[in-house]
Structure 1
Amino acid sequence: MDVINFTQMKDGTKEEYEFLAQKEKPYLALTAERVLSELRRQGEDSLTGYKINRLQHGLQSATRAYRDGADIDWVVGTLLHDVGDGLAPQNHDRFSAEVIRPFVRDEVTWVVEHHGIFQMYFYAHHYGWDENARDEFKDHIYYKSCADFCERWDQSSFDPDYSMESLDFFVPMVEEVFSRKAYDPAVIQENVVKGIPEKVTT
């Protein structure tokens, strides 16, 4: 069989669906490369007006996380926290969270999913918005993790003079994370708070 015969999913046979499942395996194995390609695109086609582009912002954020001793889930989640900017600029935080959700700790996914409203703390008043909108989550188990993520690694990462690691530096980490079994409970660790590591001082 080279292609399936059905034109409606309800008409597919067991043999056809088994065939499709085999076709899907190599495609899923290339997820990391597609994610990396989107990051690279952000270095060429990005929001303008900032001193750095979106790829550089992700690299700078992830570099800060890495240098603070964050684990691989935090580093990759931080690198990809704005990966949704291109396709979903109005809800990029949720989009980005869905990219990483099957492969990282629940805490990291939640932080990426909610970082948009938490970031408003730093600028919303300039637009007449509520800078304390994040307070609706003040009793959430991951509130402090998200507030710390935004303060330490996100809002501070628009500096063209910061010496950040290259994308190549992070490629092995991205590949490792996306090679994990999707939704593995041992990885997802729902309701586990590891928090942002203490800032490394030199």
Structure 2
Amino acid sequence: MADSATVSFTQMKDGTKEDYELLDRLEEPYRAGTADRLLTELAAQAEDTLAGYKITRLEHGLQSATRARRDGADIDWVVAALLHDIGDRLAPQNHDRMAAEILRPFVREEVSWVVEHHGLFQSYYYGHHYGWDRNARDRFKDHPCFASCADFCERWDQSSFDPAYESDSLESFVEDVRTVFARKAYDPAVIRTGEVLGLPATI
């Protein structure tokens, strides 16, 4: 049976230790459901065709993740490729940062940095058509993750708008997503601050 207890306060500053222990206990199952809520959002994107593109938002994520998987990428890259545009529907102007914040507690720092900056790096392919500086990404040219982000965009993101590409199914990624989001948040052994592995080499 669900816990029907509630806190004693109406202002957080008045909460007791017992109140916050209660909240922590009640929030744990919700935190544990993060992966499934993300998978539900991805599934909903199957009905959301990218305006003007030939594929749906879901298909773009699946193509990106499938390319990463077939390149031999590790689980952090694969899940990041799947979820890199998860913020599109709620935060179209800063979807990259939204996706990065979702991933940041559960993947290594290099991967969350790439997701956070992929929007800017993607503009290399089209920015000049809008009169923008397509080389705006060069402000990060000395960053250790620059090559990783440029490669992510080249190999897995900008190339994944092809209706003829045979992607792996969303179901095939479920266990990867659940594995990543079952990790202890901000575990130093996962975050691996300062470690840059890059993308797997192409064959």
If the TM-score is normalised by the length of the shorter chain, which range does it land in?
Answer: over 0.9
Kept after mapping to 2: 8 A contact 1:46/1:86: no
Kept after mapping to 1: 8 A contact 2:49/2:55: no
Which residue of structure 2 lines up, in the alignment, with residue 19 of structure 1? 22
Which residue of structure 1 lines up, in the alignment, with residue 142 of structure 2? 139
Secondary structure of 1:83's match? coil
* TM-score (norm: length of structure 2): 0.97
Match status 1:167 vs 2:199: no
Kept after mapping to 2: 8 A contact 1:51/1:159: yes
Q: Mapping of 1:115-130 within 5 angstroms?
A: 115-130=118-133
C-alpha deviation, 1:47, in angstroms: 3.0
Which residue of structure 1 lines up, in the alignment, with residue 102 of structure 2? 99
Q: 2:183 aligns with which of 171, 175, 180?
A: 180
% identical aligned pairs: 68
Q: Which runs of 4+ in 1 moved over 4 A?
A: none
Kept after mapping to 2: 8 A contact 1:93/1:115: yes
Q: Which amino acid aligns with 2:156?
A: W
Q: CA RMSD in A?
A: 0.9
> For residues 126-166 of structure 1, what are the alpha-carbon distances to aligned partners after superposition, in whole Å with 9 as ceiling and x for unaligned?
10100000000000000000000000000000000011001
Where structure 2 has 5 or more consecutive residues not aligned to the other structure, the ranges are none
Counting matched residue pairs gives 200
Q: 1:41 aligns with which of 37, 40, 44?
A: 44
| Counterpart-to-counterpart distance in 1, 2:162 and 2:148 | 23
| Counterpart-to-counterpart distance in 2, 1:132 and 1:48 | 25
